[in-house]
Amino acid sequence: MSWSHRTIRAIGVTVLACWLAACGGDQGDSPASSAGTTTTAEMSVTGQGAPPECTAGTAADRRYLLCVPQDVERPRLVLALHGRNGSGAELRTMTDLDGAGARRGLAVVYVDAADGGWGDDSLRTAKRPRGDEDVTTLAAVVDDLREDGGFAAGPVGVVGFSNGASMAMRLGAERPDLFGPVAAVAGQLPVDQRIRPTSRVRLLMMNGTADPIRDYERGFPAPAERSVSARTPTLSVMGSVEAWLGIANGAVTEAPPVTPGTDDVTSVVRRTWNDADGVLLVLDTVVGGGHTWPSSRLRAPTTFGATSTALDATAEVIGFLAE
């Protein structure tokens, strides 16, 4: 069944509350999945301006929460992807992407993975026999939401955290006609050589140097034998950067690094690479930062490392996607 951002407003408050109260499964790559259940009261939109109108629905057999800015005709759409064993509700609690997005005229749709995680590389499993099911399903979600023409045409911005960040990079790599730009927080490009960008898509990466789950220098090396439930092998942060720069239009130049912020524990170093078309890739290295969303509204367990307050990840992500 198809839902537009106008017609789904008829969904009852009880359904929406049930979606918002959902929490993840066993502890995984998502700090939110380890932090317990949150309530709808803890998810109120912060900041100035009218809050977005949020409604729950299902498209392509995936649950989602769609948050649309008020009084904006045909807003641009942003897809938000949670970490492993997390949920869209938890990502919303962590980030308030929809509140920040509404202030920039963006609609944000948080989508739940079918089994708590995304197929961010081409590994074939019993649940993903082709290896590309999540790519085709997320494309179908976008097509379904756009069916009535209520959203702007053109590529859809994608933001992800952890496993969701790697999935966001896969979407930009495999479907640059539909997805982009991409913002990846605490994620890296899969080792899988089939997951490489094929056309120019702008990318923002944010990675902590003290990430205990996705090592900044080493990534997550491929094991000799990989189980279905194992984490996806990924490149290092700089390996991911180098692979993405392969799609540059002409010569690549790097701007001088800048330090946009520091706190008592962390600091941020921003590196920017440009090609003939302008900014192609921005890397925010959070020195001392963990496997966390900088300035998250949800406190992460200490096992995930430090949560930096030297950078407002939500503001940076929305600003990048809104350009």
pLDDT top residue among 306 and 13: 306
Q: How confident is the model at residue 229 (pLDDT cuts 50, 70, 90)?
A: low
pLDDT top residue among 27 and 287: 287
Residues 6+ apart with CB under 8 A from 313: 95, 185, 206, 293, 294, 295, 296
Pairing of β 278-287 and β 203-208: parallel
Which tokens belong to 234?
């990924």
- How far does Cα 313 stand from its chain's mean position? 11
The dihedral sign for the CA sequence 47, 52, 56, 62:
negative
**Predicted structure pTM score:** 0.87
Contact 120, 165 (CB under 8 A): no
**Res. 59: pLDDT tops 90:** yes
The mean pLDDT value for 182-190 works out to: 98
**Length of the chain in residues, anyone?**
323
- State the pLDDT at residue 40: 31
Q: Which domains does the chain possess? A: 7-239+314-322 (3.40.50.1820)
